[in-house]
Amino acid sequence: MIDQIIFYTLAFIIVAMSLMVILARNAVRSALYLISALLGFAALYIRLQAELLAGVQILVYVGGIMVLFLFVIMLVSVRTMEHQARQTRQWKAAVVIALGVAAELIYLIVRGGSIFVTKQPPDALLTKSQNTQVVGEALYSTYLLPFEIASVLLLVAMIGAVVLAKKKI
Amino acid sequence: MNILVNYVVIPLVKIVVIVAILSGGIAYLTLMERKVIARLQHRLGPMRVGWHGILQPIADGLKFIIKEDIIPIKADRFVFTIAPGISLVPAFIVFSVIPFGPPDSLWGTGGYVTDVNIALLFAVAVSSVGVLGVILGGWASNSKYPLLGALRSSAQMVSYEVAMGFGIIGVLLVANSLSLVEIVEKQRSMGVWFFFVQPIAFLIYYFCGMAETNRLPFDLPEAETELVGGFHTEYSGFRFSLFFIAEYANMITVSSLAVTLFFGGWLRPFSSVAALSFLDIIPPPLWFVIKVLIFLYIFIWVRGTLPRFRFDQLMRIGWKVFLPVAMANVMVTGAILLKFL
């Protein structure tokens, strides 16, 4: 009972904040709402006993990435953006994508949760101090290849950004 | 009933006590700062209000409250209003995981509000949220000096947080846990403070902590001499004091974490030497406070001694000195642990 109240409260906050991200006219306010939504996600992770993920979520997204977001937004003149037209030429494509996603979601809700195969992790994995260790071991054993590919991808993106931004190196 | 007492009443009482002590501590930390700086500069400091200025913090607080709260006409009112809160709240939340005494103290409830398994990560993550208040406050003022301060603050924070994280990983490798209580217990069972095991990690942590609290020599977001007041130029009255309180709370946070991670938290010096057990006459929380006070003194001492870095120097030190050294420290520590343990 309490569990469900917590879940629905958090879900409501996250959905409301996510909506405000795209509805707010001012980019900095959008960033503020995004921060609130991300904090809501962190709370959801704690409820799922994924404390490490919650901590990393706050550290990386709220404390790191959002600071960079704000840094970029502040360099752009926000006041002029407020007066720009709300709809751009991309709205037709956006409608198609949104309808597609909505159809998928409705299908899933109608079919019920039975299509998802949930694998219950053994209880040993959920004991108190193991959280960090389990994630670390999984990353460096079972999922080593995806993990390394992701890191190489990030490195490529970083070098690409430097090359694109700086004409003379 | 038992659940209610254990998970609601006891933590609530502890939170109230900690917030009260912290608020009083912050008030008198400002007096300590003014007195120490005054001694460093051969002055007397505040002398008028009470004996040797002992009531000065109360007078200052009253002044902040009765001063007019000005919001610039072109400011973004909503963001301008909440920014000091964004800066202040995380600074206080961190103390929910910092242990002041051993787990069996305080009638068995433990000398901390809560002991979570990711306490260290939580403390670092939450204290990194505070900078958003500085950035948003600077932006919302809609004026050039605060904006420059906000830009500097975000660049500085991103640069130093990475090095700080790597510095802490050194401790993590030795302690094998993210729980702050377990980290202190480990220092007791090993019989040595982690400062002597990880001196480089400590220096990196402490310097990066100084940068994160915007204290001299890293106070470029404020930089009175070039940016008037930096991010808080347009703030006045009570809202200004909230930024101020957050800065001092962050100083106490950094000092507390430094003590917990590197100087044995609540442990007395040489906790494994039985011959020194007469030192136990001072209770563990008091040892903790004494150690924290030493680090706060160093904060003030450094402020009174060193000039401010130039911005390019700041970036160079962060990226080209602290980060590589911290990474090398992690690699060497890891290699030694693998080889010998």
C-alpha distances (whole Å) from B99 to each of B11, B34, B109, B133 are 13, 29, 12, 26
Polymer length in residues for chain B: 341
SS3 of residue A27 by DSSP = helix
The yes-or-no verdict on residue A101 having pLDDT over 90 is yes
CB B219 within 8 A of CB B212: no
Region B58-85 average pLDDT = 84
CB atoms A131 and B158 under 8 Å? no
Amino acid at B278: F
Contacts of B79 in chain A (CB under 8 A): 28-29, 32
Q: What is the C-alpha separation between A137 and B295, in angstroms, rounded?
A: 37
Question: Pick from B140, B154, B182: which is nearest to A71 by CB?
Answer: B154
- Which of A76-85, B51-60, B86-95, B237-246 has the weakest average pLDDT? A76-85
From A62's Cα to the closest Cα of chain B, the distance in A is 6
Q: Are B234 and B330 in contact (CB under 8 A)?
A: no
Best of A25, A132, A134, A137 to disrupt the B interface (most B CBs within 10 Å) is: A132
Please report the pLDDT score of residue A14 as a whole number: 92
- Alpha helices per DSSP H over chain A: 2-23, 27-47, 51-56, 66-75, 78-82, 91-111, 131-140, 144-165
pLDDT at B110: 72
Which of A4-8, A9-13, A153-157 has the least mean pLDDT? A4-8
**Predicted local distance difference test score (pLDDT) of residue B68:** 82
Question: By CB neighbour count within 10 A (0-12 exposed, 13-18 middle, 19+ buried), where does B270 fall?
Answer: middle
- The larger pLDDT score, comparing residue B280 to residue A120, is at B280
Backbone angles phi and psi of B315, in degrees to 5: -65, -40
Q: How many CB atoms lie within 10 A of CB B225?
A: 7
**Distance from first CA to last CA of chain B, Å, rounded?**
46
* pLDDT per residue as tens digits for the range A21-67: 888 877 888 888 999 999 899 888 888 878 888 888 888 888 888 88
A94, two tokens: 């956006």
pLDDT for B157 equals 82
Average pLDDT over chain B, rounded to whole? 83
Segment A7-21 shows an average pLDDT of 91
Query: In this predicted structure, what is the pLDDT of residue B229?
Result: 72
> CB–CB of B264/B193 below 8 Å?
yes
Top-level class of domain A1-82: mainly alpha
Residues of B within an 8 Å Cβ radius of A: 76, 78-79, 116-118, 121-122, 124-126, 128-129, 131-132, 135-136, 139-140, 147, 150-151, 154-155, 157-158, 161, 165, 177-179, 182
Lowest mean pLDDT among A122-131, B123-132, B188-197: A122-131
pLDDT over 60 (residue A127): no
pLDDT at A80: 59
pLDDT per position as a tens digit, A133-146? 778 888 888 889 99
Q: What is the pLDDT of residue A169?
A: 61
In this structure, how many other beta carbons lie within 10 angstroms of the beta carbon of residue A139?
13
Given this model, what pLDDT does residue B13 score? 85
Mean pLDDT of B319-341: 87
Q: What is the pTM of this model?
A: 0.83
Are B139 and B130 in contact, with CB atoms under 8 Å apart? no
Q: How far is the C-alpha of B43 from the C-alpha of B158, rounded, in Å?
A: 38
CA atoms within 13 A on the CB side of B224: 4
Indicate if the pLDDT at residue A100 is higher than 90. yes
- With contacts defined as CB-CB under 8 Å, which chain B residues touch A74? 135, 139, 147, 150-151, 154
3-state secondary structure B243-296: HHHHHHHHHHHHHHHHHHHHCCCCCCCCCCCHHHHHHHHCCHHHHHHHHHHHHH
pLDDT digits (tens, 9 = 90+) for B153-189: 888 888 888 888 888 888 888 888 888 888 888 888 8
Residue A153 confidence (pLDDT): 95
Q: What is the pLDDT of residue A12?
A: 92
Task: Determine how many CB atoms are found less than 10 A away from the CB of residue B213.
Answer: 23
- Report the pLDDT value the prediction gives residue A148, as an integer from 0 to 100: 92
CB contact under 8 A, B135 and A74: yes
pLDDT tens digits, one per residue of B127-163: 888 888 888 888 888 788 888 888 888 888 888 888 8
Q: What single-letter amino acid sits at B113?
A: V
Chain mean position to CA B307: 21
| pLDDT, position B63 | 86
Q: Where are the domains of chain A?
A: 1-82, 125-169
